[in-house]
Amino acid sequence: MRIATTRAPRLRLGRALLNQGAKSEEPDMASATTTTTMMRSAMPAGRVHQKAGLLEDERWFAAALLLPTAVLLGLFIAYPFFQGIWLALTDTRVGVPGNFVGLKNFEKVWNDSIFRTAVWNTCWYTFITTIVKLVLGLWLAQLLNRHFKGKAWVRAFILLPFIIPTVLSTFAWKWMFDPTFSVLNWLFWQMGFITKRINWLGEPDLAFFSIIVVNIWRGVPFYAISLLAGLQTISPELQEAAAIDGANAWQRFLHITWPLLLPVTMVVTLFSVIQTFADFQLVYVLTGGGPANATHLFATYAYQIGVGTGLLSEGAAISLAIFPVLFIVVLLQLLYIRRVETR
């Protein structure tokens, strides 16, 4: 029996083994043509035959393969994105088709004190959590990269905060921060650290601190596991060689681990920044943007304006305001990754 062949050199060995009955050990172009001819002759004649001919053209075949993805991306990413841009340029309210108003919504949003708070909040929120998550994640990955008993279990457990649906775990945190029943307050009080309740979600700064803590808790596993995967691709021989040459642990980290891990770190950070910047569930559940708008992020404020107040156009303008910032971040990081790859 014959199988359809490809020209990928990597498959040659396997194919050679399978093709024991075949005469040629180097099928390549000649063999591919033979196979296609056989395929064609096996197919019913007529319309299908023509289509098969069309698909033989690599450009068409590639296009056909890409089509489902392109359609999905177009429908669920591109269409809503352009719809969002259009909405932001109109004065659409819920149930009322709007007229084109140019950049008026952006102007209104720009002069909105709550929006400015949300901008600052989002930037700080992303900046602080990303750094802490990276440091903690890297540290955790280093620890997990060692050999110890029950390694597999620990690695699995580390992932838990990431696996549990965010809304559920955030509700658990909400209880821990509850002004009246906080288990954290109870614990600190029992240990004698505090004499009166800490108002975790009621003081603006503390509330902001609280959402940052929860975000870090949820995000560290993603960093840890991804970086661990990266660490495992670094050959231990390099470390050993450096150790023999007298490099201490810090030097080995700085000159071997860090540079080799950098491409992975960049990708992980990229994903994390995008996710954190557009975070919604955590703040929505914990504070609803309060107290007095102290914890609003882009997404929660856009939701409040767009869905709560029904001003779809303004809500769209607020969420689009994320776009330039994210675009620059993504661009810088992708350029950097590309440079690393081509080096």
292 binds another protein (CB under 8 A): yes
- Contact of 176 with 184, CB cutoff 8 Å: yes
Cα separation, 234 vs 172, whole angstroms: 38
Site for another protein in 187-216 (CB under 8 A): 197, 199-204, 207
Cα separation, 216 vs 81, whole angstroms: 29
Q: Closest CB to another protein among 68 and 246?
A: 68
Q: Which amino acid is at 196?
A: K
Which one of residues 179, 186, 259, 335 is an interface residue with another protein (CB under 8 A)? 179
End-to-end distance of the chain based on CA atoms, in angstroms? 45
- What is the closest distance, in whole angstroms, from the C-beta atom of residue 1 to another protein in the complex? 8
83 binds another protein (CB under 8 A): no
Which one of residues 89, 211, 312, 320 is an interface residue with another protein (CB under 8 A)? 312
Q: Closest CB to another protein among 112 and 267?
A: 112
What 3-state class would DSSP assign to 38? helix
Cα separation, 294 vs 286, whole angstroms: 12
Within the chain, where are the H helices?
A: 12-18, 28-42, 47-56, 58-73, 79-88, 104-110, 113-144, 151-158, 160-163, 166-176, 183-190, 204-231, 236-244, 249-252, 258-277, 281-286, 298-303, 312-320, 322-342
Task: Tell me the CA distances in angstroms from 35 to 45, 178, 248, one per residue in order.
Answer: 17, 69, 59
- Count of residues that interact with another protein, criterion CB under 8 A: 55
From the list 9-17, 19-27, 72-80, 318-326, the region that binds another protein by CB under 8 A is: 72-80
Which one of residues 20, 99, 180, 342 is an interface residue with another protein (CB under 8 A)? 180
95 binds another protein (CB under 8 A): yes
- What is the closest distance, in whole angstroms, from the C-beta atom of residue 293 to another protein in the complex? 6
Give the per-residue contact string, 159-178, with another protein (x = CB under 8 A; - = no). Answer: ------------------xx
67 binds another protein (CB under 8 A): yes
Which one of residues 96, 164, 168, 172 is an interface residue with another protein (CB under 8 A)? 96
Q: Is 167 exposed, middle or buried (0-12, 13-18, 19+ CB in 10 A)?
A: exposed
Which residues sit at the interface with another protein, rule CB under 8 A?
Answer: 1, 4, 39, 42-43, 51-52, 55, 61, 64-65, 67-68, 71-72, 75, 79, 93-96, 108, 111-114, 177-181, 197, 199-204, 207, 287-293, 304-312
